[in-house]
Amino acid sequence: MDGLLTIVWFIVALGVLVTFHEFGHYYVARRCGVRVLRFSVGFGKPLLTWRDRRDTEFVLAAIPLGGYVKMLDEREGEVAPEDLDQAFTRKSVWQRIAIVAAGPIANFLLAIVLFWGQLLPGSTDVIPIVGAVETGSLAEQAGLEPGQEILAVDGMPTPTWTALNRQLLQRLGETGSLKFTVKYPDSNLNYESEVILEQWLRGAEEPDPMAGIGLTLQRPPVVIDTVESDSPAARAGLQPLDRIVSADGKTMNTWSDWVTYVRAHPEQTIDLIVERSGRQLALAITPAAAEGADGEAFGRVGVGFRWPEELLRETEYTIAGAFTQAVDKTWETSVFVLASVKKLILGQISTKNLSGPITIAKVAGASAKAGWVYYLGFLGLLSVSLGVFNLLPIPVLDGGHLLYYLVEAVKGSPVSERVQMIGYQLGLCVIVGVMVLAFYNDIMRLG
């Protein structure tokens, strides 16, 4: 059932993003007087078709991995003399630029709306307080100490764990100074420190920025917040506010310790030491077996956990404030995605971090399961990525067409068909190569 829902949410995500992207092309083409012959979401065999009053054919096709808008174009066949004024090729170079750019722009506008919807309810995230510093690590060299709150990295505020992680990710593969701004508990004084990076985590597969600098954030004790009825936890006698001290003699310092241990022991009895009202109790629990998206069984006991309020930071936005933040987030995400592409090309980030449709589908399913706010954020990130990717100056992509038209605007005449054809062939090789590598990475992750 989880696998089916993952596929459904993946198709919904692609459908929304592709529809908005192609609608951008379609809308501006119509405004420029170009006749649109077909608007297709998906490729392959049409599943559903209809025509509007302008005789544009709308298609929902069987393979939901993209879409296209087909316009009246002299390069694709003979155009009747009376229809020439509606042909894409007869429009000015600036109109053609507007039509091509409209697709990626639509993705950026969609991302703003999605992030706006994500931010409107407000957000709650973990305050980045240092829990432990690994001996000999970059964090120790920077002088970070347990109990400090990390206020900023390289001058950019890091009010939450997510913001801190995002700022560190931007330094992957780089050499240079990494600066921290921190403060001690119950102090208003800020302290500056720095450490020198040397090709930091260059080429690492699935890099973990926190582990990469030797930093562990402060985690609360494993205190239960909710217990599902008729669950292994309820049958074992666990109650809200119980603190799990150990499992099979292993100390449970953090919630992640507990989750990891439970997931690794499906249908295996675990001996617990639990603290309740100041007394320690011995209990036994047998996690139920559940099946993950990869088909592997994992343990589940049916308890919930909540971070203590003193470790959380809540942020509320007005409607206008959420919109402003959404615009900023779209811009920052675009810059980050573009910088990541650059680092991939330069070898600063491993190509093993490229993801294809299988990984995207798994993330779509996981984010949808976590809640609609997370799914909106995932869609926003994917929409930005699609917009940036399509603007890359690679022939066959929108960015490649824009490059040709900008050259035409400067020199006053179109790029020769021979040069365009060579560019398209090279561009197609690049895109196919990237797709094959992404599929390969997906398959290896499944393995």
Tell which of 197, 217, 237 closes a domain. 217
Whether residues 264 and 237 share a domain: the answer is: yes
| CATH code, 244 | 2.30.42.10
pLDDT of amino acid 110: 97
Whether residues 141 and 208 share a domain: the answer is: yes
3-state DSSP assignment of residue 420 = helix
Exposure b/e, 435-445, CB count within 10 A at least 16 = b: eeebbebbeeb
Domain annotation covers residue 196: yes
pLDDT digits (tens, 9 = 90+) for 26-60: 999 999 999 999 999 988 888 899 998 888 999 99
Whether residues 266 and 293 share a domain: the answer is: yes
Whether residues 212 and 259 share a domain: the answer is: no
Is the pLDDT at 295 greater than 70, yes or no?
no
pLDDT of amino acid 239: 92
Stretch 286-297: mean pLDDT:
78
Whether residues 178 and 232 share a domain: the answer is: no
Question: 86, 89, 120, 94: which is closest to 318 by C-alpha?
Answer: 120
* Contact (Cβ atoms closer than 8 angstroms) between residue 289 and residue 266: yes
Q: What is the pTM of this model?
A: 0.84
Q: Which residues are catalytic?
A: 22
* Contact (Cβ atoms closer than 8 angstroms) between residue 382 and residue 13: yes
Whether residues 257 and 189 share a domain: the answer is: no
Domain annotation covers residue 90: no
pLDDT digits (tens, 9 = 90+) for 145-186: 999 999 999 999 999 999 999 999 999 999 999 999 999 988
Is the pLDDT at 2 greater than 80, yes or no?
no
Q: What percent of the chain has pLDDT over 70?
A: 98
Whether residues 204 and 229 share a domain: the answer is: no
Whether residues 187 and 168 share a domain: the answer is: yes
If one counts every other C-beta atom within 10 angstroms of the C-beta of residue 152, the result is 18
Domain annotation covers residue 418: no
pLDDT of amino acid 271: 95
For residue 277, give its domain range.
Answer: 224-306
Whether residues 228 and 206 share a domain: the answer is: no
Whether residues 160 and 212 share a domain: the answer is: yes
pLDDT of amino acid 442: 82
Domain annotation covers residue 383: no
* Contact (Cβ atoms closer than 8 angstroms) between residue 244 and residue 276: no
Q: Where are the alpha helices (DSSP H) in 237-356?
A: 255-263, 319-346
pLDDT digits (tens, 9 = 90+) for 22-34: 999 999 999 999 9
Whether residues 206 and 253 share a domain: the answer is: no
Whether residues 212 and 165 share a domain: the answer is: yes
Instruction: Indicate the number of domains in the chain.
Output: 2
pLDDT digits (tens, 9 = 90+) for 378-434: 999 999 999 999 999 998 899 999 999 999 999 889 888 899 899 999 999 999 999
Domain annotation covers residue 322: no
Domain annotation covers residue 79: no
Residues in CB range of 181: below 8 A, 6 or more apart: 150, 151, 152, 153, 155, 190, 191, 192
